[in-house]
Amino acid sequence: MKTLDVGLLVDSVHSDKYVEELALWAKSRPDINISHLIIQPRPAARPALLPARAIWRILLAVERVLLRWSGPHRDHYAVRDLSKIIDRIVDLRSSGEDVEKVKALGLDLLINCGSVVPRGDILRASRLGVISFLQGGFWECYRRWPQTSFVIRRLSEGAGIGDELASGSFRTRFYYSLNQANVYKKSVAHLKNLLKTVASSGELPSNGRAPRPYPGELHRAPNLLECLVYACKLFKRISIKAAARMPMLRERFSISVLRGKWDQAMSWRTVAASHPRRRYWADPFLHTRAGRTFCFVEDLVQKTEKGHITALELVGTRIVEHGVALQEPFHLSFPFLFEYQGELYMCPESRASRQIRVYRCIEFPLKWELAKTLMEGVSAVDSMLFQKGGKWWMLTSIDESGAGDHCSELYLFSADSPLSATWVPHRQNPILVDSIGGRNGGLVIDGERLFRLGQCQGFDQYGQSLRVYEIKEVSESRYAEELVTEIKPNFRKGIVGTHHLSTDGRTTVIDHTSGCFVS
């Protein structure tokens, strides 16, 4: 097996934790060898105005404190000594070293992990050239944009745009440091997958996309006025977050039952809307049996913040609660239902167990047993299974980065049976890296047509609206879907978001969020 020999272009042997993560990961792989650190000269920094710089430092100090409560991102600003992992160093800052020495190393690929975009001869110093990140962070947060993007490119001469190798967009978080930490950690996971592909094929992949310019302004430092404006925004957002933790002001999920098909949204009339006291209902899935309409929901207990699956029945204009259908020691939600060989199955979201599980109904509606574990050691949410073209397909959102963000990366797998423990990943995986539509919100089967509901995340908001995509093609070589419509939270007064829908053709159930602040 040919090893992919890689060098890292850095500013110093002391770098951030993301470069260390990449180096440690490569050290554990037999097919990838990050052998050298190449320290580039940095141009003299332009002097910044002292007042702007002072305020910026204060803001970052405040955000460092906030990061202590952010789990995987608490050490975002940590500095690591890379020389403890990679001891071969080429220092281009010294007079005795030049690019010819880098060429003599015979590297396959250079990865730019520094603050300077390489130009000139260094771009031709390895067989496959130089790849580099372009990532957002501050201005998306400052302007309340719903998404923050990243691009991994092969750099070229001139404008340096080059070939786009991987890209994606994630939900923008409410303050800069957290937003930057999330996009950094997520994009490193995509770089790892890219390197595995390059190691396997020996070449850089082509995704067929034309290179897109990445706004240079996104890397401009804020001036004094912008620092002051951001300070006010940050204080306001922190205050809103603190107030929203009060029990009477927390966001509340509930469901609405609507008579009619999902595609008759303009004429929807709410027949019933409910959630019990100190519990929230979400992720509804309908099932019709013997002329009766049942609905399985995530039932989140406010006190424990842990969910289980509850069975409801829709009787006229009433919602009748039958009881707990499925409960585990870990959180459950998204009770996706499907039938196979005359039996009813449920595939709930069970990421806390790091498994994708399927349960069989043995006594409807309240008795279920574990039938099969489809995947182990995976952080996946909102999995949906369906049959098409003689195969079973699974659409699921997976977070490979460990960032805890499952709202963007959508994956597709296939198997001969929905109870298989061997699922083949699709060659286009991930088929979508986008916080607009990248997390499942339901599946509608309308005759021969299949519609996937995709959640749309807002600025620091989970589940702002829903998009409906028709699945046009699904095969071992290709997946294609087409946007049909968007369902916005305007079917009831006082709601600010919706993220899940289910229908049986006569009745539609949708969940929604209300009573929360938007930062």
Cβ–Cβ under 8 Å, residues 161 and 60 = no
Domain identity same for 227 and 253:
no
Its pTM stands at 0.94
Domain identity same for 216 and 311:
no
Q: Kindly report the CATH number assigned to the domain that includes residue 340.
A: 2.115.10.20
How far apart, in whole angstroms, are the C-alpha atoms of residue 124 and residue 100? 10
Residues 6+ away with beta carbon under 8 Å from 215: none
Amino acid at 227: C
How far apart, in whole angstroms, are the C-alpha atoms of residue 33 and residue 106? 12
Domain identity same for 289 and 330:
yes
What six digits make up the tokens of 410?
Answer: 């959508």
Domain identity same for 293 and 317:
yes
Cβ–Cβ under 8 Å, residues 397 and 379 = no
How big is the CA angle at 325 (ends 319 and 330), to the nearest 5 degrees? 120
Q: Kindly report the CATH number assigned to the domain that includes residue 197.
A: 3.40.50.170
Q: What is the pLDDT of residue 269?
A: 56
What six digits make up the tokens of 416?
Answer: 């001969």
Cβ–Cβ under 8 Å, residues 371 and 356 = no
* Tens digit of each residue's pLDDT, the chain (519 residues): 689 999 999 999 999 999 999 999 999 999 999 999 999 887 665 555 677 889 999 999 999 999 999 999 999 999 999 999 999 999 888 755 688 889 999 999 999 999 888 888 899 999 999 999 888 899 999 999 999 999 999 998 765 567 889 999 999 999 999 999 999 999 999 999 999 999 999 999 876 555 555 555 677 889 999 999 999 999 999 998 888 777 666 778 889 888 877 776 545 556 556 667 788 999 999 999 999 999 999 999 988 889 999 999 999 878 999 999 999 999 999 999 999 999 999 999 999 999 999 999 999 999 999 999 999 999 999 999 999 999 999 999 999 999 999 999 999 999 999 999 999 999 999 999 999 999 999 999 999 999 999 999 999 999 999 999 999 999 999 999 999 999 998 888 888 999 999 999 889 999 999 865 555
Structural domain count of the chain: 2
Q: Which domain holds residue 436?
A: 246-514
Domain identity same for 259 and 215:
no
Provide, for the chain, the percentages of residues in helix, strand and coil under a 3-state DSSP scheme, each rounded to the nearest 5.
20, 45, 35
Q: What are phi and psi of 51, to 5 degrees?
A: -60, -40
Burial class (CB within 10 angstroms; exposed 0-12, middle 13-18, buried 19+) of 74: middle
Domain identity same for 211 and 259:
no
Looking at the DSSP bridge assignments, the partners of residue 481 are 471
Whether 335 is covered by a domain: the verdict is yes
Residues 6+ away with beta carbon under 8 Å from 462: 171, 407, 455, 497, 499
Q: What is the pLDDT of residue 302?
A: 84
Whether 519 is covered by a domain: the verdict is no
